[in-house]
Every structure is written in C-alpha cells, then in structure tokens.
Amino acid sequence: MSWQAYVDTSLVGTGNIDKAAIFNSEGTSVWAASPGFTVCTTSRFRGRTATPTSWTAHAHAWGKRSPCTLADLPSLQVGPAEINTVATSFADNSDVKKVQSEGFHIATEKFFTIKSDDRSLYGKKGKEGVVAVKTQQAILVAHYPDTVQPGAAATTVEQLGDYLISVGY
C-alpha cells in the first residue's frame, strides 16, 4: 500500500480522522497528506525569500526543504516548526516535557497536551484534537473533528502505528 493510501484509507477513510499526514521520523519530509492538511516546508518562493514577517497568518519561521509557491499560502496548514515540535517531543526524556508545559501547534492552532511519551502525543483544543504516533521510520499526525470521540481517533492512529511497526516501518 502507498503512503497516500494509508492516509486516505486507514486514517481519513475510517471517519474518525478528518485530516492527516505521514512524515519521516525526523519530521523533515512529508510522505503523504490529505487535502486540507497540506504541508509546505520551504523558505524560498520562486526566487523570493519568505521571512517570518511575511507569514504572520501562519506565524512560522520556515526551514529549507521541499518547494512550494506563493499561491500555496492560502492552503498551508502544517509548518515545519510545528512538525519539529512533535518530532522532538518523542525524544524529550525530562520529567515534565516541554510540550506538556507549553502545548503545541498544528495548522497554527494551539493544542493542549493530554498525553506525551516516546511513542504518542495527544493534544486537544475544545472538542477537537490531534493524535501523533511515532513508528520506527515515520510520524503519523492526524486531526479529529469535534464530532468524533477522542478514544476512537486515538485507536485509529495507534492501530496504524502498530501495523507499520509490525512491518518494519
């Protein structure tokens, strides 16, 4: 199965997740993403440098990675600084992780951390939330709407994470 098929079928296709993406385990490369969860990871736009002040709507300092254009700006959802926070939270071994005390952002929305360990990161904002699961080679990031129970969303993402781990990913 392709990475996009995992997003479309195993995550969004369940009805428990409305947006999702799969990244490499460092959070530096996007392997697949659903519509509405687009990812732009560059600081260059057709010869023009995007500065943090030109991103006030998204409030991110972008890294140098895969290209996108200024036309992509209105649909941007997930930034590299946000994914970096998720990726580094899995390696944080302090008693109180930074992500636990500060929360984290996905698509410029702040989520309060509900759970954070070396495999899973759960965040909530009102009745909606985010579930991130780290496998050996990937990070699954999924958003669930306010109409879905958090446990159902977490089970969906964790089960895909378990499967990917069982097949070496």
Say if residue 26's pLDDT is above 50: yes
| pLDDT confidence of residue 40 | 60
Say if residue 56's pLDDT is above 50: no
Long-range contacts of 86-94 (CB under 8 A, 24+ apart): 86/27, 86/121, 86/132, 86/139, 86/141, 87/23, 87/25, 87/26, 87/27, 87/134, 87/139, 89/116, 89/121, 90/117, 90/118, 90/119, 90/121, 90/134, 90/139, 91/118, 92/116, 93/118
**pLDDT one-digit tens code per residue, 101-160:** 999 999 889 999 999 999 999 999 999 999 999 999 999 999 999 999 999 999 999 999
For residues 83 and 81, what is the distance between their CA atoms, to the nearest angstrom?
6
| pLDDT confidence of residue 41 | 53
Pick the closest to residue 21 from 8, 110, 88, 75 (CA basis): 8
Q: Token pair for residue 127?
A: 């009745």
For residues 95 and 98, what is the distance between their CA atoms, to the nearest angstrom?
9
- Whose structure tokens read 């879905």? 148
| pLDDT confidence of residue 80 | 82
pTM over 0.85: no
What's the rounded mean pLDDT across residues 63-73? Answer: 43
Report residue 95's pLDDT band, with 50, 70 and 90 as the boundaries.
confident
| pLDDT confidence of residue 44 | 35
